[in-house]
Amino acid sequence: MYGKISFLNIVYNFTMFKQFFDSKFNENSNSINPALLKELKNLVVSGVLSLDMNLKQIFDKFESKNNSSKNFESDFTRAFNALDTGYNFVKLYNLRKSLPQYSRQEFDGGLNSLRKERKFSLEASEGLLVKLTPEEKEAGILEQGRLLIYCKKINNVY
Domain boundaries, the chain: 1-53, 71-158
**For residue 17, what pLDDT is reported?**
46
Locate the DSSP E strands across 51-140: 90-91, 120-124
In the CATH hierarchy, which fold is given to the domain comprising 71-158?
Arc Repressor Mutant, subunit A (1.10.10)
The residue with greater pLDDT, 130 or 23, is: 130
* DSSP 3-state of 90: strand
The model's pLDDT over 81-130, given as tens digits with 9 standing for 90+, comes to: 999 999 999 999 999 999 998 999 999 999 999 999 999 999 998 766 77
Locate the DSSP E strands across 66-119: 90-91
The model's pLDDT over 142-157, given as tens digits with 9 standing for 90+, comes to: 999 999 999 999 986 5
Reported confidence tier of residue 56, pLDDT bands at 50, 70, 90: low
The model's pLDDT over 26-52, given as tens digits with 9 standing for 90+, comes to: 444 455 566 666 666 666 666 666 666
Distance of alpha carbon 13 from alpha carbon 28, whole angstroms: 19
- Phi and psi at 47, nearest 5°, equal 90, 0
